[in-house]
Amino acid sequence: MPSSLVYWRILRDNRDFRRLYLARLVSFAGDWFLVVPLVGLVYETSDSPFMAAATVAIRALPPLLLSPVTGFVSDRFDRKMVLVVTDIIRAGLAISLLAASMFDGVWFPLTIAMLDGAGASFFYPASGAALPNVVSPRDLAPANVMMSSAWGAMAALGAALGGAVSVALSRDTAFIVNAVSFIVSAGLIASIRTPLQEATERFTVGFWTAIRDAVRYARENPRVGALLTSKATHSITSGGAVGIFAVISFVIFDAGDAGTGLFFGARGIGNLIGPIVAYRIVGRSLPKTLGSIGFAMSIWGASYLVVGIAPTLWLATLFVAIAHMGGGTEFTFSTYGLQELTADDIRGRLFALDFGLFTLASAISSIVIGGLAEVIAIRTLIVVLGIVSIVLGLAWARVTHHLWVGLPD
């Protein structure tokens, strides 16, 4: 059972990882300042659960469409440059939301949401592929736990504060904080000295050949192929559930942006705690780590069953947090598995494919569940999502069990 001191040791001794970690902390915190007020803005403007869910779906669409390009860019060009440029562009997009009041309807904020999703689609494969180049092999698993926990911690803090700032000050203030966070993140990443990829391994083949190589690699390596389905399988239900957080808050509990912020915050707390607890249980055992992914999905489903029948906002918030302990574990462990089982020169393309499949499932889930929320009672819908997630998680664990047998502990 790994000691929690390993996290402190990595931060203390590895300067470049520390800067990458801090950049993620700052960027994630600001990002959640964007999501809560943006979803609230769209919902209030349209008075439509479907449009609120569509905001999440639209942010998820570009990673799907751009995944061949973003993976190619991550493997072909300097990953540090990709990350810095992406941060700067997203800062400009956040600032542009200050002009939302000048336009009628929801088309302008939805357009910005889509462009912001495009920026994220470049950031994820580059940062995920870069991590094994910044830490030693023995530190890769705990470093992934820390990165996932950074997302969770800042989703909790950023979402809660984003909702509070929107109510107490203004949504524009939240948009400004988001822009500043991206600038700070870009500065931290620019100061990293360690190359974020192995220069000798960079490929020089053409775009389509590079994409075909990545698809063939996934097809010829069943373990990698299975891991590429993990996030997408979980997102069939989880993507849509997150998309109706605002609807749950406004319709069931009459809590407005503050309630939406609580739900996003609880989601973050779950993502913070879940991977840390799970890593202490499975340790450094790769078979146990990958074998627990399906069960983590089922924990999400069981918890959302309770959310669907919760009589109070606070009980629902508690079980959202527990649910996303499972969701955070699934995301972290599948990411770690891809980093362990793929080579550096193709890792960016596989991470882009992973992100594309994940966002495809999230987008479809958000649109379908947002549409169902228009005609089905919200509580009933949430209970159904929980049941489906339990079944999917147990099925994924059963189907993939044989793949992890024989992997080194």
pLDDT tens-digit series, residues 249-293: 888 888 877 787 788 778 878 888 898 899 888 887 889 999 999
Instruction: For residues 132 and 331, give the distance between their C-alpha atoms in angstroms, rounded to a whole number.
Output: 17
Q: What is the model's pLDDT at position 57?
A: 67
Chain centre distance of CA 53: 16
pTM (two decimals): 0.75
**Environment class of residue 1 by beta-carbon count within 10 Å: exposed (0-12), middle (13-18) or buried (19+)?**
exposed
Between CA 393 and CA 401, with CA 396 as vertex, the angle to 5 degrees is: 125
Between CA 159 and CA 252, with CA 152 as vertex, the angle to 5 degrees is: 45
In eight-state DSSP terms, residue 408 is -
Instruction: Note the pLDDT tens digit of each residue in 274-285.
Output: 988 998 888 878
Residue 197 lies in a domain: yes
Distances (CA, A) of 93 to 74, 107, 178: 22, 15, 10
Instruction: Note the pLDDT tens digit of each residue in 143-153.
Output: 888 887 776 66
Residue 307 lies in a domain: yes
Q: What is the model's pLDDT at position 39?
A: 73
Residue 22 lies in a domain: yes
Q: What is the model's pLDDT at position 118?
A: 82
Residue 96 lies in a domain: yes
Tell me the CATH number at 363: 1.20.1250.20
Q: What is the model's pLDDT at position 333?
A: 93
Q: What is the model's pLDDT at position 115?
A: 85
Tokens representing 35? 């999501």
Instruction: For residues 240 and 390, give the distance between their C-alpha atoms in angstroms, rounded to a whole number.
Output: 15
Residue 385 lies in a domain: yes
Pick 166 or 181 by higher pLDDT: 181
What percentage of the chain reaches a pLDDT higher than 70? 86
Q: What is the model's pLDDT at position 309?
A: 93
Instruction: Note the pLDDT tens digit of each residue in 310-362.
Output: 999 999 999 999 999 999 899 899 999 998 898 887 888 888 788 778 877 87
Q: Residue 316 sits in which domain range?
A: 15-404
Q: What is the model's pLDDT at position 63?
A: 67
Q: What is the model's pLDDT at position 205?
A: 53
Residue 265 lies in a domain: yes
Instruction: For residues 265 and 396, give the distance between their C-alpha atoms in angstroms, rounded to a whole number.
Output: 28
CB 224 within 8 A of CB 350: yes
Q: Is the pLDDT score of 4 beyond 80?
A: no
Q: How many domains, the chain? A: 1
Residue 103 lies in a domain: yes
Instruction: For residues 330 and 154, give the distance between their C-alpha atoms in angstroms, rounded to a whole number.
Output: 18
Instruction: Choose the weakest-confidence range: 41-45, 221-225, 276-280, 385-389.
Output: 41-45
Q: What is the model's pLDDT at position 150?
A: 72
Residue 9 lies in a domain: no
